[in-house]
Structure 1
Amino acid sequence: MLEAIIFDMDGVLIDSEYSYFEAKDSILKDEGITVPSSYHSKFMGTSYQYTWETMKKELALPQSPAYYSAEMVKRRQEIVKRDGTKPIKGAAAFVKGLKTAKVKLAVASSSPLSEIEKSLTEIGIYQDFEVITSGEEVEYSKPEPDVYLLAAKRLAVTPQNCVALEDSPNGSIAVKKAGMVGIGFANPDYPQLDLASDFIVTTFSDLDYEKCQKIYQKFHK
């Protein structure tokens, strides 16, 4: 039986990936470094700490990961102030529909808890989730399943009885490792990524509670 539906946030509920790319590019530019956008894509779904620890090693950055994480947050806040928090088209209505169907809902994001609360509040769906889990609360970030398993534990549900929505390769692998049925959101506005999800959608207008039930029944093991 499908017990819960769990959402990633960045790239699934809010259109935020471009702001992370822009913030990181501006920081690297200050260090005299230019990377292709595909370089940033591999960090989608991972924690700030993991991202900058890896980038520091790979790009020989002079400052600490903590310094760059804080600087990224600062610059991204300026971008969001400029552009506003952008919801993914159809995502809020999809969540509201699931809430009406009385299915348990959670968010399992690698972003800091404060960022999750702020973003979901600004697009009007924070109150619709029973549980919020952050990458700050677990030892290992995506592609490890920790944040999804924590969400299931707090919901008091069996991980194998959950559907989880992701937009990144790292996140989709985390869902698979958690034993959940994965729905991948392949945003047509961004380059196609290699998702490990069981089922792929390109718009939330294709999804409702009944469709999630059918996907769960088809791919549940």
Structure 2
Amino acid sequence: MTISALIFDFDGTILDTETPEFESWSEVFTAHGTTLSLDWWSGCIGTAGLAFDPYAHLERSIGRTVDREAIRAGRRPRHLALIECQQPRPGVLQWITAARAAGLSLGVASTSSRDWVHDHLDRLALRTSFSHTACGDEVDRVKPAPDLYQLALQRLQKGPDQAIAIEDSPNGIAAAKAAGLFCIAVPNPLTEPLDLSAADLRLTSLAELPLAEVLRSIG
């Protein structure tokens, strides 16, 4: 296996936006006199669409409808404020630097929208590190379907045997494996308890091992 590209998931992998989102929604549920279960939330991580409707879940929990616009107006600024406190996850900057020094191509495959991914990469001064991104509003099916990784590979002009996917969730891992990539699982605090056994390699963080050592072990 000759690796010439790394494809990163974004949310929870490059930047932990997932814990702040769970925290902001937990605050909403608490304010309405109920509790947001991590067991329910975990199935939503790394995907989008019908599985991800916290408003409906809140309404089922309390037995009445809620003012969704009022919740949205209050929760989103709170979510963004919590994200502002986050730095790239441990080891991410070191792996990006090492990959570029080794001549590897770098891409992002994210279920989130292009604006969301690019705005955060710009804020972190990381956007120019990635030659291509593939985002949720550019494909028909998001993770766990393989479409995002297939698009990323197409844009990077790589085959699946030439790239490593770096993911934090079962849905992301399923997408990477369905696209034929070697996948490294790097859980964040929210996904650490989840079953990530479908990944080819699991690290506590990218700071656990240098990229060069991982490439040698795969080769």
Q: TM-score, structure 1 length as denominator? A: 0.82
Answer whether contact 2:168 2:191 (CA < 8 A) is retained: no
1:206 alignment partner, SS class: coil
Structure 2: distance between partners of 1:151 and 1:115 = 17
Partner of 1:158: 159
Shift in alpha-carbon separation, 1:81–1:138, aligned structure 2, 3 A: same
Match for residue 56 of structure 1? 56
Percent identity between matched residues is 29
Q: How many residues align?
A: 212
CA distance in 2, matches of 1:88, 1:211: 19
Q: Structure 2: 5+ residue runs without aligned partners?
A: none
Q: For each residue in 1:42-81, what CA deviation from the matched residue of structure 2 results, as whole angstroms up to 9, or x when unmatched?
A: 111112x3443587379648579xx68x928x72443333
Per-residue deviation, 1:128: 0.3
- The aligned counterpart of 1:92 is 93
**RMSD of aligned residue pairs (Cα, Å):** 2.9
Instruction: Return the structure number with greater helix share.
Output: 1
Q: Map of 1:197-208 to 2, 5 A cutoff? A: 197-208=199-210
Correspondence for 1:117: 118
What is aligned with 1:168? 169
CA distance in 1, matches of 2:24, 2:80: 11
1:160–1:57 Cα change, 3 Å:
farther
Residue identity opposite 2:213 in structure 1: K
Structure 1 residue 177 displacement after superposition: 0.6
1:127 CA drift (Å) = 0.8
- Between 1 and 2, higher relative CO (CA 8 Å, sep ≥ 6) is seen in 2
Instruction: From the CA coordinates, give the structure whose radius of gyration is larger.
Output: 2
Matches within 5 A, 1:21-36: 21-29=22-30, 33-36=34-37
Quick one: distance in 1 between partners of 2:77 and 2:120? Answer: 11
Q: Which runs of 5+ in 1 are unaligned?
A: none
Q: Distance between the aligned counterparts of 1:106 and 1:63, measured in 2?
A: 39
Matched position secondary structure for 2:207: helix
Q: How does 1:78-89 map to 2 (within 5 A)?
A: 78-81=78-81, 83-89=84-90
The amino acid of 1:79's aligned partner reads: H
Matched, 1:14 2:15: yes
